[in-house]
Amino acid sequence: MHQPLEHVVVVGASLAGLRAAETLRSAGFDGDVTIVGDEPHLPYDRPPLSKRVLSGDWEHDRAMLRKPEAFTELDVTWRTGVAATGLDTAAKRVTLADTTTLAYDGLIIATGATPRRIPGQEQHANSHVLRTLDHSLALRDELAVGGRRVVVVGAGFIGLEVAATARQLDNEVVVLEGAPAPLIRGLGAEMGAAVAAVHGDHGVEVRCDVSVEGFEPDAVVVAEGRRVDADVVVVGIGVVPSVDWLTDSGLELDNGVVAGPDLHAGAPGVFVAGDVANWHHRVFDEYMRVEHWTNAAEQGERAAANLLALASGGTTTPYDAVPFFWSEQYDRRIQFLGRAAGDDEVRVVAGSVADRRFAALYGSRGRLRGVLGVNMPRLVMPFRSHLEQRIGWDDALAVADELAA
């Protein structure tokens, strides 16, 4: 149905929201665009926050996603430093924390996610999370002097990246993980442990099956009242999608904003992108929410393109790109394509786990589901098209043999 657009509101001033606005302009949309962000900053890149910004190698301005003049040339209205607090999809109106409202013809929700916290954590000044630029700069001030006892709670990618950076700044680092293996959600137990072993090489102890019970001014309290001494604590136990402002919107909320394959959220003119999107992926035939850079960038573009297509009476296009993420820890670059599940068959097809340089395939029910590479980019990226084409397991092994030859 033809739905003329005059004003598009993008809620979320990070990567997905920026890419959405840029796509609108590059496609020729000359109406009003307003970008709303709860942080005071213009869009910046999040991956460097746990690495180059945290280490002090970069000042904060190097993390900005665009030069200042590019933000100006985009010709949008920036509403930074003010959060969205409500959405009326019937009236097509967004309410902001300063009580103002924004009427829209098209809406792209890209509000991302918020770090999980442990009860009582906020009472201790030495306790940190890492999601925003301000978080990174505050933590950097504590780590830069070196010689601190740093406890990282959570052995996921953010936790381990922070652990690596803290160790490289000459701090003592212990990582506490409640699961039986590090990186278990992203890579599974076997490969998670294999990847995290590099931390032991650098003098970082990773303790699994540890339950954190609370905090003291100079320690983290674990099971049975045992204490782990800490001058600095970083809690990296995952995030929750930022959907509280949508509670009364009528949108379906379940681990994010539920959307169809084309990222349409079900209400007229409303699309979703990035960490907050729980959309149906046709290749893997499941609903998924992906918290990684490539997904946010590509979904921001697709959501905007589909909004324009719908408004002009055209056909929307599903977002079927294979999930991809990477992590840098010490001198290791970890890349993963696809999806990992606990019952996947995992086979190392090149390199050696012992050498911390290898590639592995993940398969289930006769199909390839994922590819992991540690310092082996040429064994990973060629598989993206194969995963999109639902390559079989035996064929994937043959492709790996050819690439490794």
Burial of 394 (0-12, 13-18, 19+ CB in 10 A): exposed
Lowest-confidence pick of 147-161, 185-199, 273-287: 185-199
Q: Does the domain made of 117-235 have the CATH classification 3.50.50.60?
A: yes
Decide whether 7-114+239-311 matches 331-404 in CATH topology: no
Are 192 and 180 contacting, i.e. CB atoms less than 8 angstroms apart? no
User: 94 is written with which tokens?
Assistant: 């967004």
CA distances from 276 to 203, 213, 335 (A): 36, 29, 22
Averaged pLDDT for residues 275-279: 98
Averaged pLDDT for residues 238-265: 97
How confident is residue 315, by pLDDT bands cut at 50, 70 and 90? Answer: very high
- Closest by CA to 346, choosing from 207, 181, 164, is 181
Please state, in angstroms and rounded to a whole number, the distance separating the CA atoms of residues 233 and 220: 8
Residues 338-364 have pLDDT tens digits of 998 888 999 999 999 999 999 999 999
Q: Which residues pair with 357 in a beta bridge?
A: 352
Please state, in angstroms and rounded to a whole number, the distance separating the CA atoms of residues 78 and 313: 29
Q: Does the domain made of 331-404 have the CATH classification 3.40.120.10?
A: no
Residues 48-93 have pLDDT tens digits of 999 999 999 999 999 999 999 999 999 999 999 999 999 999 999 9
Averaged pLDDT for residues 292-308: 97
How confident is residue 1, by pLDDT bands cut at 50, 70 and 90? Answer: very low
Phi, then psi, of 73 in degrees rounded to 5: -65, -20
Tell me the longest C-alpha to C-alpha distance in the chain. Answer: 64
Are 105 and 310 contacting, i.e. CB atoms less than 8 angstroms apart? no
Report pLDDT for 2: 60
Residue 377 CB-half CA count within 13 A = 6
User: 118 is written with which tokens?
Assistant: 């442990």
Percentage of the residues of the chain whose pLDDT score is greater than 90: 92
Q: What residue segments make up the domains of the chain, in order of their start? A: 7-114+239-311, 117-235, 331-404
Mean pLDDT of the chain, nearest integer: 95
Reported CATH class of domain 7-114+239-311: alpha beta
Report pLDDT for 382: 93
In this structure, the number of other CB atoms found within 10 A of the CB of residue 153 comes to 26
Is residue 227's pLDDT more than 70? yes
Please state, in angstroms and rounded to a whole number, the distance separating the CA atoms of residues 397 and 371: 11
CA 291 from centre of chain: 3
Please state, in angstroms and rounded to a whole number, the distance separating the CA atoms of residues 247 and 81: 21
Report pLDDT for 120: 86
Q: How would DSSP label each residue in 310-352?
A: HHBT-------PPPEEEEEETTEEEEEEE---TT-EEEEEEEE
Residues 167-180 have pLDDT tens digits of 999 999 999 999 99
DSSP 3-state assignment of 385? helix
